[in-house]
Structure 1
Amino acid sequence: MVTDPRIQVLFVDDEPGMLQAIQDYLSIVHSIGVDICNSGAEALTREDLFSFDCLIIDYEMPDIDGIVLLKEIRQMNTEIPIIIFTGKGYEDVAIEAINAGADFYIKKGGNPDELFTELAHYIRKGVRRYRAEQELVEKERRYRAVVEDMTEFVCRMDPEGLILFVNSVFAGNLQKPFETGNGVTFYSLYPEYEKEIADAIFLCDPDNPSTQIELPFMEKQGKTAWHQWVIRVIFDERFDIQEIQAVGRDISRQKELDRQETILKELGLSLATCSTLESALSFSLSAALGIGRFETGAVYLRDPGSEKLSLFLDEGPYRAALARVFEEFSRNEDGIILNTGEAVYMSMSDLYRYESRFTALAFIPIHRYNEITGWFALASENLIEVPVEIRNPLEGVVSQIGNVISRIEAEEALRDALLESEERYMQLSETSPDAIAILSGNSVVYLNPAAKSLFEVESPDGFFRQPFHDFLDTDLQDWFSGILRSKTGEKSPRAGEGFLKTKSGRQIYGELLTVPITHSGEEATLLLIRDKTSQRMQEQALIESERRFREMADLLPEPLFEADVGGKLTFCNRGVFGLLNKTNTSHENITMASQLVSSKEQLRFSTILKKLGNDLLPVAGDFIAAGNSVDSRIFHLSLAPIIRDGVFSGTRGILIDITENRRYQEKLQQMIEEKDILFRELHHRVKNNMQIVSSMLQLQEEYITDEVVLSALHDCEQRIDSMALVHETLYRTESLAGIPFGDYLENLAIAVTEGFATVRDIRTEIDVGNIRLSLDTAVTIGLIINELMVNSMKYAFVDRPSGLITIRLTCDDGGCIMRYSDDGVGLPPGFDIEKISSLGMRLVRILAKQIRGQLVIDSEQGAGMMCTVTFPKQAGDL
């Protein structure tokens, strides 16, 4: 546990008693270290004056007044907390002390405990503020030191892209004098790519706050530099952009190297398959023009008989002009330049005295067996000079021509006879993509072109001034020295890996193989070097990617783990340990993935793991976590197979704690069941109450002799029974969401038919399917059908032994249609539902309007009656 250091204060006062009392009280009661000083002069001479956390100064002292001492100290240090201790008038001293720079002031006298407690309070308050300010200053200093020491460009900007801060590397590389608040935006640095930058920032969100983008930057010299930026968007708690940070680096060199590498790889493939000198030179010339960004080029070869140079092939728009320039350089005193056998590069300043349209020229010799067999002539009217960084690649392209010529001639000669062993060896060595060198002792006596290119030397002579030993790093030097010291009889092929340095200091990671051979009759070492720099970088990138993955996985709040095919844990993020803490499970005992679940669930967990390994498909399930059984945790586990090289190699799982969700669902289900019981009881009571009303009407009928009144009461009973039947049907169904209308109509038809004691055979056909209606709709339609059936029973089947009543109900998205019909005598002529005075038919018309339905009644004398009610679906109708 980190604790704050003990507070140390200096008390300056000329009263020994006061000094001692305060020192004892603060030390014993408040654990504050107190050093004392008897005068202001003594305080000013102390070298450790500003090592204290707080100063307490008496206002009245004989040598130096407390306010004077305060002002002297404030001139030297404006931050240290200072408390004025005074016995004079409180308000006067307070104003004077505050104006002089005091943080607090305390008046002497009164209760000592209260005085000293107040003093301790002010000390702690001032020291907390002082230490916080010092810590903030130190953090800012460290942050700026780190940012300024970085080799990358660093800048911060507001949500609109206005640059708020840049480091010195940023200002230096982007060639702009940046100052905070000068109005420069990040977008203005790349004016043609504002949309791309804005789109990249727009796609960032709190889950994926960073993006990477590569942008071309136009430098003052007219050159284009490539910058790679990692932009990170910082969001506030409302997910609005609070600030944007960007870290960039110059990748122009890498871009150029990648471009050159692509050209050289394509050239290597082309040269490996070409079979004629013309095609080989054509491929090489095109590659040289592409690497150097020249417009025009030509290849001149020396005639073996006449020793004269003649044009073999050329390419580009200004071939005639280039031919004139080459001819001029080939004769008179200029021929001396080409006779040296070294590559010649000429800039605009070199060409001012020649009448030429070109501003940059390159003449690169074609060497074959240490002889100049030709020249590559390259020209540009756009370049001021041939850049240094492309000269080696250009010379590397041309250096292969001699090898290609040899290979082609060798292929032609192989059709007639075999070359001698030495020639075959040299051919293989010269065309090998791996660097090959022969060392006699520590001296290099042979290098193939790949080795020359690798070490950036023209010939083995380049090692005379710098021994081969110096091109190796420390580990390889020890390894190679051990090989050279070993006895001849003990020598055998040996392999090693390490870093090598080129002539320019560039580091290469290579695989080395040494083979003992005999060269020119002496013992020597054949050294084969394979450049594995790219592979090494990929391995390092893979390691870094793995590290980032682990860090990101640790930041996830959900538990995440990986296990091998046997279920043994190979990785756990912090979320797993957080889950184990919740369930009081020891971390040290967890080695298998199955131990994350309770013992009762482990068999099911193992079954799922086995299924995952067989099907290689993701699976999921809910499990009880291992640990505390009293307050067990439930989590949802998602498992996915880990497949490497097409083979199942393990399992990756993520756990989501659903304990609270499960408890909430159980509580919600309990509430639903309680409400279901209450609603069923309510509908039961309503049905009982309606039956009581119906029974009371039946009792009343026994005292009435008027047939009209009796009929009216009987109709009312029938209507009440119809509504009661709805409530009875509802509380007897499994779901209260709607009434199964078919069951209801069956019971209603039986009740109406039984209500009319008759010997006639009246049948009912009901077809409503599985339609469920809401309570309001069911009551209304039920009353309509009740009135229609009562009307049919009374009037439709008079003097008839039998009859048929048909009821159909259909519903779709457009609404519902209820069709009622009987095969009775039909309605009387001139029947009009709007003018009828019968209470039953009036109720039918009113009830149809109540559900916004359209009522249509058709009838023919002797052919029965049909009533159709078309109504829209109501809430709850299914």
Structure 2
Amino acid sequence: MESEPPIQVLFVDDEPGLLSAIRDYLTIVYSIGVEVCNSGSDALTREDLFAFDCLIIDYEMPDIDGIVLLTEIRSMNQDIPIIFFTGKGHEEVAIQAINAGADYYIKKGGNPEELFTELAHYIHKGVRRYRAEKSLVEKERQYRAVVEDLTEFVCRLDPDGVIIFVNSAFLNNLQVPYDILSGVNFHSLYPDHQGKIQDIIEFCDPDNPSAEIELPFTGVHGKIIWHQWTIRVIYDNVFNILEIQAVGRDISKQRETERQESVLRNLGLSLATSSSTEAALNSSLYAAIEISECQTGAVYLHNRMSGKLTPFLEQGPYRAALYRFLEDFFKNQNDILLAPGNPVYVSLTDLHQYETRFSSFAFIPILRFGDIMGWIILASDNLAEIPFEIRHPLEGVTSQIGNVISRIEAEEALRDALIESEERYMQLSETSPDAIAILTDGTIVYLNPAANALFETANMDDFFRKPFHDLLDADLQKWFEGIIKTKIRGQGPSTGEGFLMTKSGKRIYGELITVPISHAGEDAILLLIRDKTSQRMQEQALIESERRFREMADLLPEPLFEADIQGNLTFCNRGVTALFGRTNLQDPNICKIYELVSEQEHLRFSTILNKVAAELKPMTGDFIAAGDTDEPRIIHLSLAPVIKNDQFSGTRGILVDITENKRYQEKLHHMIEEKDVLFRELHHRVKNNMQIISSMLQLQEEYISDDVILSALHDCEQRINSMALVHETLYRTESLAEIPFDHYLENLSQAVTEGFATVRDIRTDIDVGGIRLSLDTSVTIGLIVNELMVNSMKYAFVDRPSGVIRIKVACNDESCLLEYSDDGVGLPAGFDIEKTSSLGMRLVRILARQIRGKLLIENGVGAGMICTVQFPKQEGRK
């Protein structure tokens, strides 16, 4: 909010001391700006005299006294506040000052502080009033400037409806000066609607203070001007009317346009239903007279024989006068003006050579395919000329006449052709496989043989003893009654389906097609009936099959769904609702297929959907279902493409809630991991125990000096290490059920070789591949290889610096084969594994039998020995 500007005061007095004291006091105490002037003449010559907010004038001054100065100032400005200073004993002067226009007077003398306070009080009081009046005047000026610039009408009325202000827009519209309307009652401008205006004002209240009304004003020359007013009532605090404001505009053009459009619309309806040229031209002439507001009109058509214009229709008064004028008009060869086919308008100034009662004419051409068919001629006895604003709609009256006349002639020709060809239609219907009937006023007048067969009748009289609609079910009856009620000529073919009744009471489901025709010169309906009973039964069976399918789908516990190509769900069984009820989904109304899974799964789900659409083959996947993220449900989703007409048209899917299975699998996996750890620990401890036994045997060897016993203990130690090595290899592998036999044999051969620390270079060649053997078989085969290698190390390479041991294991579908060989001295002569007394070889024989193997030991070709063990596969590789 803007602050008030500081007060500026002009003090006119010839006493310097008083002037200085008052200026200092008002400036310091009240922040009032004070300028001084020492004489009245100086004050009158100041250009900024009336720029001050207040004037203070002393009475006694040498050149001009205060009364004269006051009178001069008031002659120039009646509003500026003036405070008059007088001395004591000059009361009559104070009265003169008040009468001369002073607002206040103050007596000099007394207490200076009281004097200055009183002066400041009068200054503030006068300036507030002066500024308020100036602001009001300025706002009034601005208001009037804005209102005068408006194109809308503005009227201000007192509570009784008397006009206290109108703007120039309203005065210009009424073409009257302001003095005529000032003080006039607003209601009297519309004498026939005063009660309506008063009702509108009384209808308003403080909650609904405004209303709208349209009023006709009779202007100069009796012209009606339509005004649309918005009347607003202004109330005081106790709901009394203070003022009435009315804002309006001229809607005469709008009303005239609406009137013309209404006339043209009615003309269009009349032309659409006209069945003769005369009716169409008569409607057009009537519409042209109504739009132009002319009194008389006529239609003149070109005579094809003579080429002259001849009268065809006339409307309105003074038709004889119009006829006489047109005779004279055409005799003067004015028909040359009409030759181009353009509208011609004749005004009062063009009629000076004719004796006629009319003051203006309009010639509107009637065109048909670009040729002039005739003219609509209008005459007015009160218009100097046809107004320009109605010429375009007037010309619009004739724009469709040519097309309408062409349509009427075509319909008449078609009607004649229909009558002529009716017998041929009847002949065609006799051979038609469809049932055909003709009805007039709802009664059967003809049945073809196919219709008689359909309704099980010998002829028409045997069956149709009652109205046709009684043979139809309720829906068909309603449809057929609507066909009968509709004007037959105005409708096209119509189709309906429903049940009909035959003579024997048999129900037939048929398709009925009605076509409006003319029969024997009367309006009739051609009824085509097609028996669709079989098709209906098939459709019902399909619907029933669909219903059973949906019921069965709802009974399935697995959630089923189907979606279209845009991903919109088109079907869901109850299983889907049950599933997402368990997920605590806040909004179970799923509309999109993406809403089945959680938001973080949308991208992966979209990828699978796109693959189904692209590759047209089923896809599966596990997803997190949509719903509560704190307790998510895991679903297994199977998707399959829906293919129609060799095109991808959507997706079908089934959901399986595998949350519990997943949880059980996780629990089982955890248990397996625990058991795996336990078994590995068990094998580790078995290996440690065997190594402890081996270590104890090594300690025992230190106290034995017999070489035979030492050798036996060393062999036992080697056998124990072989078995311990199996357990060590087992707990170091991923699977406890199988042993990677290649790693095991490499470690075993290295351990045996290191156990016989000699200077000989014994090389081991192992070929096992990726064979994996069970624990029992690995132990057995390991002991066999251990015994054979110990035997080779002891006896095969005596007195030799080097040697080679070859070990190979191979498996086929039925069995496995262990081949062991060395290039040493070979077996002694006459060696028999069954009769040998060597503990190692006896162990080899016993171990081979344990795995149901076939053992063969023999000398090799050239040098060394060969040992083979063939054992069943189930005892070997897993």
TM-score (norm 2): 0.49
Q: Which has the larger radius of gyration?
A: 2
